[in-house]
Structure formats: C-alpha cells, structure tokens
Structure 1
C-alpha cells in the first residue's frame, strides 16, 4: 500500500470513477492520506461524488506518472470514517484542504479504501498488482 500512496503523492492529480445510476462519472481528486494502515480519500458530503460513493461504494481510480510512462489503476470499496481523528489527519497531511474544510464542519468527509486491487502498468514492464 505504501507504494500506491507514494505514486499518488508523486502524481497528485488522479481520477476517481463512480456510478451515478447507470452512468459512470469521473472527476479529478488531488489528496490522499495514510492513516492507521489505510489509504484515505477526502471529499465534501454536499458533492454528487459523495452521494454516488454512498449509494455504490465501489470505485476505481487512475493516474499516470508525470512522464506518462507508468500508470496506476486501483479498484476498491470505499468505507466512510466519521471520526474526527481521521478528518484531522487528512487535513494535517493536506493543509491546503483547510481553506475548504475543518475537522468539525459537518461537510468534509473521509473514506478509506477496502478490498483494494492496485495495478501498476508501464510500457516496459509486466503489470504489478498489490492488494490491500
């Protein structure tokens, strides 16, 4: 999981896919955190993406390296973590979020990835899969 986290931090714009009924939706995300051995995402509970993740917690995310030679795909189930400590950790690790959210604003939500399958791809090597 640390390898996935490191790749996402080095390539901070990644795209998260959800389902909105029968329509796939994809949007950019830019923050992740490791907390208590789990990989976390953050969003606002007023956003359609949060409602989509609540209705169907299966997501995929994808990003590429800066040079485009490597890419990562992750399929996982997101699990809501309502603890203040988890939200605080996300905000501490990604302080730019503090312009938008606080630990106790009732809007910022954190979700961790469960049953994740991450696959690293490149043009020069066989795919490498990591499960966490």
Structure 2
C-alpha cells in the first residue's frame, strides 16, 4: 500500500473516474491518505462525485509521474468516523478553510477495498499491487 500511496502523493494530482447513470465522469483530485492501514480519499458531501460514489462505489483513479502511470481500481467505502475525517484534514490543512468534520460537517472520506493498483510504463513490465 505504501508504494501506491507514495506514487499518488508524489504525482500530486490524480484523476478519479466514477459513473453517473450510464455516463463516465472524470475529475482531478489531490487527496490521498493512509489511516488505520487503509488508503483514503476525500471529497465534499454535497458534490456530485459523492452521490455517484454512493450509487456505485466502484471507481478507478489514474495518475502519472516521470514516465510511469498508476491505475488503481477498487471499491470505495464511506467512513463516517470523525477521527478518520480529522486525520485527512490534518494531512491537508488547507482544506480546513473549506471543509469541516463531524455529523454536521461537509467532508466525506472514503477508503479503498478490493483494490488493485497497476504501475506501468513503456520501459518496464507492469507492477501489480493488491491492496
């Protein structure tokens, strides 16, 4: 998991794909975090991406850095634990200007389950990592 986290963190921006009915949706993200041995992302509770993940939690993200790219596909699970939300916002302090935690807060954190990452390039065989 650390290899996947480090790759995505160093890339800084990844693109998250969800499904909206029968239409794929892709948007840039920047949050990635390890908490309690799980890989997390964060979004806002009122955003369309949150609704899409809740309707179909199967997602894929993609990021590129230095001639390599990663694809991480899996299922996202909403974690309503305030400690998980706080941990994410501690990691990304600038987000505290926009997001708050707790039952009345507007932040949502999800962790990956049943996930597989593939790191590829044109110069080496794919590296497959099960999370």
- Distance in 2 (CA, whole Å) between partners of 1:108 and 1:17 is 19
Q: What residue ranges of structure 1 are gaps of 5+ in the alignment?
A: none
Shift of 1:123: 1.3
Shift of 1:106: 2.2
Residue 120 of structure 2 aligns to a residue whose secondary structure is: strand
Correspondence list, 1:3-82, <5 A: 3-65=3-65, 67=66, 69-82=67-80
- Distance in 2 (CA, whole Å) between partners of 1:96 and 1:131 is 31
**What RMSD in Å do the two structures reach over aligned CA positions?**
0.8
TM-score of the pair, normalised by structure 2: 0.97
Runs of 4+ in 1 over 3 A off after TM superposition: none
Q: Does 1:89 align with 2:95?
A: no
Shift of 1:31: 0.8
What's the counterpart of residue 107 of structure 1?
106
